[in-house]
Chain A
């Protein structure tokens, strides 16, 4: 029996046209309630527009950061942990978004296309607003920047002085990284605080693509 080793399997794997539960019971020992709809039977759009309080998220996020902080050796390490959390969220969000778009879902094949998808569609789906800017780093061919004037996850976070380098939006960087990876645009994404006069909490997500992404873009679409 070939079991998925990841602790939480994405929900949509069960969207098969075979008779309900038949394929499931054959490969799993999980018990299902007979009177309740399983996650596979629930409508995918059920929670599309549902909302929860921002404080609920803030509390949860705060605890997450606290817990991540327990076993790390420094700010970088902590940001990496937050990035990993975001990555897990991003993977699932991407899947959810694409399943929802159904047949109209488009596969982005260009760097600019995928970046626009992130700064518009994805950002809007998660944060109800598009990202504030999308820019190319002039000096480096492989680097792009997405900025958020006031990242939601940071709204109730105050960073202690001795950790001034920390930006908890590393969590969002992780989400972006997962979505890029999911679209076969492997990249490293990091969050940097870049305050402006108007926006003290402005954060820039620096996206550095792996060389093969640029190589492919060059081959397919001529030099960029």
Chain B
């Protein structure tokens, strides 16, 4: 499947096979989740990042099924570059109606970045002005967990983390994704 046909597929799934709701409800609900974590964990932002990632991971494990059912993708991705393309053009399109740009491939094609021009989770958001949050909190960290969880279910162990975020005053929002290994069928899935 070529890159353009994936873009078309993503568009089609979004238009015809997706129930939609008000984006602001999602944005504000996500904000409430993050704010609650910050409160519960008393401003330990490293731990907040971890919790967000964990929640995302739980989502990813289940989201992959929804993804496969709606996208109706039958064949496996031939390589990691294909996977990246599908994540951006079909996955993100289907759930968040955005298509992050793929950039900065490593020479061994095992690492790439997703550049988020738009990030619906972070609309209306400004991090707390406590001298800490902008250095420590990755506000949208749940997305990393989602990707990690979803790919694990299709036999890919990856590491995903944010390296830039406009909320921190950076010029871009960038997530780095690296393939750790392909998981063999007979291996039990890693348990957290």
| Chain A residues within 8 Å of B, Cβ to Cβ | 3-4, 7-11, 28-36, 39, 46-48, 50-57, 59-64, 66-67, 71, 84-85, 88-89, 92-93, 96, 125-128, 152
Contact = CB atoms under 8 A, between A and B. Distances in A.
Nearest to B38: A7
Interface in B51-95: 51, 55, 58-59, 62-63, 66, 94-95
B22 A125 contact: yes
5 closest A-B pairs by beta carbon, nearest first, are: A31-B169, A54-B19, A51-B20, A50-B23, A88-B32
> Chain B at the A interface: mostly helix, strand, loop or mixed?
helix
Contacts of A52: 20-23, 26, 95-97, 120
Contact of A63 (B19, B24, B26, B58): B58
A89 B32 contact: yes
Contacts of B103: none
B166 to A, nearest CB: 5
A8 B125 contact: yes
Nearest to A91: B28
Interface residues of B, number: 51
B35 A7 contact: yes
A59 B63 contact: yes
Contacts of B62: 59
Contacts of A53: 14, 18-21, 94-97
A63 B97 contact: no
A11 B126 contact: yes
Given A8-B35, A59-B62, A126 B26 contact: no
A50 B32 contact: no
A199 to B, nearest CB: 18
A6 to B, nearest CB: 8
B22 A127 contact: yes
Contacts of A88: 28, 31-32, 35-36
B29 A54 contact: no
Contacts of B59: 59-60, 62-63
A33 B166 contact: yes
Given A7-B39, A39-B123, 9 more contacts: A8-B35, A9-B128, A11-B126, A30-B129, A50-B24, A52-B97, A56-B96, A57-B21, A96-B124
